[in-house]
Amino acid sequence: MANTLAEATYRIARELGIVVEGIATGGSATTLIDTNDLTQADDYWNGGSLWILRDSAEAAAAPEGEFAIVSDFVASTDTLSLRNVAAGTGNALTAAAAAGDRYALGKKRYPLHILISKVNQALIEMGTMPITDTTTIDTASAQTEYSLPIAANMDLREVWLQTITGDANDNRWQPIHNWTIQKSATGTADLLMLPMQYPTTRDVKLVYMDTHPALDDHDDKISEHVHLSRVVMEATVLSLLWRKQKVGLGDGTLNDQLNSYLGPEVGGLSKLDKVRVRYPIRSPMAHRRFLVVGQRVAEDEFYTPPAP
């Protein structure tokens, strides 16, 4: 099961040491009540972050896995008022928080929008990763040239043909080796040039390298090609650097935290370096293209068959 933006931001907040957890005693789609552990003063949690970690029935039902921002905290009723992370109207949660739901609260020192921003920044700075597209191109009659998705212009690695239709679980993908790309004007999709006309209405699977799509909502998924632990570590360091830029050099605790991630440990590598080594992004090799002449196979990426 893919990891989500909500899980990533919660783990970053926990890594930063700004999280407390508890069990709700009630709530709604816009509030959460905890008469046992929310003992702070009025407005203490204003601007903080809320994550619902587990629903009371342990059935993974909403609002489990969702997040919200605290707009107001009233100490006399032990009530957190919540607002949606997204713009516009709507409830903070898609279902009511209920007695028995486990939650986490993050202090406003690192606002939720900053954590989301740093997840996206980390994913971009980690480089490109494999993207699979099976919907953009379908084979057509009397056609060998197809417009690529613009994201595939830069680094297309693999092209596959669907050999069985009508069964979503049995496509029998076969690699196409002799494809080439015809470059087009800037901002325009390149053309994928296939070596022959294939049967019509077959999906063409493209595997290309691109940066990770931006994440916005609690259930937006992180690519399985990047390990969540690395995303969390990278985004945690970026969050600490953001905080350091915001408050300056006077926070000794902040400097100690940064040094714990960036300072060399035994072996010379920092904690961040070790995570990068342990969880690299693995990319597929580009399919090689060959010219077959009799029994001899010679690589020729610029070969153009003569006109009939």
The range of the structural domain enclosing residue 205 comes to 130-210
The pLDDT of residue 304 is above 80: no
pLDDT digits (tens, 9 = 90+) for 86-130: 866 689 999 999 999 999 999 999 999 999 999 999 999 999 999
> Do 242 and 103 have their domain in common?
no
Tell me, yes or no, whether 286 lies in a domain: no
Residue 305 pLDDT: 47
Q: Could you tell me the strand order of the sheet in which 49-54 lies?
A: 19-23, 102-106, 49-54, 67-74, 79-83, 31-33, 26-27
Tell me, yes or no, whether 56 lies in a domain: yes
Residue 90 pLDDT: 81
Residue 289 pLDDT: 54
Kindly indicate the confidence band of residue 292, based on its pLDDT and cuts at 50, 70 and 90: very low
The pLDDT of residue 291 is above 70: no
Residue 284 pLDDT: 84
Residue 1 pLDDT: 59
Q: Could you tell me the strand order of the sheet in which 180-182 lies?
A: 145-147, 191-193, 180-182
Residue 115 pLDDT: 98
> Do 25 and 155 have their domain in common?
no
Percent of the chain topping pLDDT 90: 81
Tell me, yes or no, whether 3 lies in a domain: no
Q: Out of 185, 210, 235, pick the residue that ends a domain.
A: 210
Mean pLDDT of 151-176: 94
DSSP secondary structure letter of residue 219: T
Residues 6 or more apart whose CB falls under 8 angstroms from that of 29 comprise 63, 91, 92, 93, 94, 95, 96, 97
Question: In 3-state terms, what secondary structure has residue 211?
Answer: coil
Kindly indicate the confidence band of residue 300, based on its pLDDT and cuts at 50, 70 and 90: very low
The pLDDT of residue 306 is above 50: no
Mean pLDDT of 36-59: 96
> Do 225 and 206 have their domain in common?
no
Identify the weakest region by mean pLDDT among 63-77, 223-237, 244-258: 244-258
> Do 228 and 249 have their domain in common?
yes
> Do 228 and 257 have their domain in common?
yes
Across the chain, mean pLDDT equals 91
> Do 27 and 103 have their domain in common?
yes
> Do 152 and 249 have their domain in common?
no
How many CB atoms neighbour CB 90 within 10 A?
A: 12
Residue 251 pLDDT: 72
Tell me, yes or no, whether 305 lies in a domain: no
Mean pLDDT of 150-162: 93
Mean pLDDT of 179-206: 93
Kindly indicate the confidence band of residue 301, based on its pLDDT and cuts at 50, 70 and 90: very low
Looking at per-residue confidence, does 298 or 27 come out higher? 27
Mean pLDDT of 197-213: 95
Question: In 3-state terms, what secondary structure has residue 236?
Answer: helix
**Structural contact between residues 239 and 110, judged by C-beta atoms closer than 8 angstroms:** yes
Residue 293 pLDDT: 46
> Do 221 and 122 have their domain in common?
yes
Strands 26-27 and 145-147: unpaired
Model pTM score? 0.85
* Single-letter amino acid, residue 245: Q
Identify the weakest region by mean pLDDT among 5-9, 90-94, 246-250: 246-250
The pLDDT of residue 70 is above 80: yes
Tell me, yes or no, whether 95 lies in a domain: yes
Residue 290 pLDDT: 52
